[in-house]
Amino acid sequence: LMPFAEPVIVTQSLSLSELRDIRKDYSHHPDEQLVTWLLRCWDSGASSMELEGREARQLGSLSREGGIDKAIGKDTQNLSLWKRLLSSVRERYPFNDNFTCQPSKWTTMEIGIQYLRELAVQEVVYYDPDNAQLPTDPDEVRCTGPMWRTFVRSTPSSYASGPTVNELVHVQQLKENMSYSPPAWTRILAIRSSHFSTREKRYTPRGKLRHCLHDCGEDMKKWDGKPTYLLEKRTLLGKKLAGWPGPKSCGEWS
């Protein structure tokens, strides 16, 4: 297997004003779950921001937890903010059971996607940092059996009772009983948040995605101004979980 490609990181000296901006953009909000904060940091580009230990120590209380904040600036070498966050949370919570993603019944597909990605972040935190074949991108995480069961338990009845989810759970259980590795199609990559290029995936025009969402009963006002990849993500997950038929007007389904 080829190791996952790391993002391109640009090294530059950060001014005091830039460090203040980082504190503002990446600070842990009050009452925000740690895993939600980590995912927000990833989505805000923490993986492409390289910091020296001296610079990291000047960030102050990013996490609002002394143990984590102290560990963020512990390593003196140049590291991305994302790797510093992962290692500091892992040091503060050395056992997976102590760092949990609180389950809750989600009511919209977007919140469901968010919750599934948070479960992926929890997996990434406890990956071996010395194993270059393991992804640091939450959207590249392979969906494990326990992770999938946790997600299904959070699924509202309107989705959980659909045949698509039931079939996927049944197949997953069969795979586990036969000691097979999780199938490739269960990877979070199927609903990744980053943009797909035309080389990675066949392009579906925005107009077709809007037409499909409209036909499936979506309130299109909330999608005005949203980027195309979010429309695509909603359409794909609607097909997977709600059993949408995926008409030709929605483009080709992989």
Written as six digits, the tokens of 178 are: 């036969």
Q: Give residue 241's pLDDT.
A: 55
Domain parsing of the chain, residue ranges: 200-250
Sequence-ordered alpha helix ranges (H) in the chain: 16-26, 34-43, 53-57, 66-72, 81-92, 109-125, 145-153, 157-160, 163-177, 206-215, 228-242
* CB-CB neighbours of 161 under 10 Å: 10
Residue 38: pLDDT above 90? yes
Q: Give residue 202's pLDDT.
A: 42
Q: Give residue 156's pLDDT.
A: 77
Q: pLDDT per residue over 83-98, tens digit each?
A: 999 999 999 999 887 7
pTM above 0.75, yes or no: no
**Three-state secondary structure call for residue 177:** helix
Sequence-distant (≥ 6) Cβ neighbours of residue 49 within 8 angstroms: 9, 22, 80, 81, 82
Gyration radius of the chain over CA positions: 20
Residue 168: pLDDT above 70? no
CA distance 174 to 4: 28
Closest CA to 169 of 189, 185, 145: 145
CA distance 208 to 221: 16
Residue 1: pLDDT above 90? no
Q: Give residue 157's pLDDT.
A: 73
